Structure 1
Amino acid sequence: MSMSAESKRECDLITSLAEASQKKVWRARNMIILEAVIAAFMDSDTPQDVAQILRKQADQLEEFG
């Protein structure tokens, strides 16, 4: 059974909207991660401290996420 032209257009539109929404979510998530990294650098003196802060945040995300 083949799709009608109208059904194909609707399916393409839904796919396009879903892809655009997914990109927005990825961008927002990446900005949150970037903010966390910047904050960790500002709150620490060494790269090891930064890694420890980010590891703790990652653990919290896994636990409560």
Structure 2
Amino acid sequence: MPKPSKKELKALNDIANKSTIKVWRTRNMIMLEAVIAAFMDTDSPEEVATILRAQADMLLDFG
């Protein structure tokens, strides 16, 4: 199998970088949505923290 050219490697790297950034943005939006929902469902920052802790625990338990 021939060695890929620098141009091909750069194109592949660009695709990987764009995909990574897209995943990060999507993940951040999901986290932001969870925080906003927790604030809308509660009356205090402590309750928000409790909800978010429970969600984080579920993510750890179930992936």
Return the TM-score normalized by structure 2: 0.93
- Residue matched to 1:47: 45
Residue-pair matches, total = 61
Among 19, 22, 38, the residue aligned to 2:20? 22
Structure 2 spans left out of the alignment, 5+ residues? none
Which aligned segments of 4 or more residues in structure 1 are displaced greater than 4 angstroms? none
The one-letter code matched in structure 1 to 2:11 is L
Identity of aligned residues (%): 59
Q: CA RMSD of the aligned region, Å?
A: 1.2
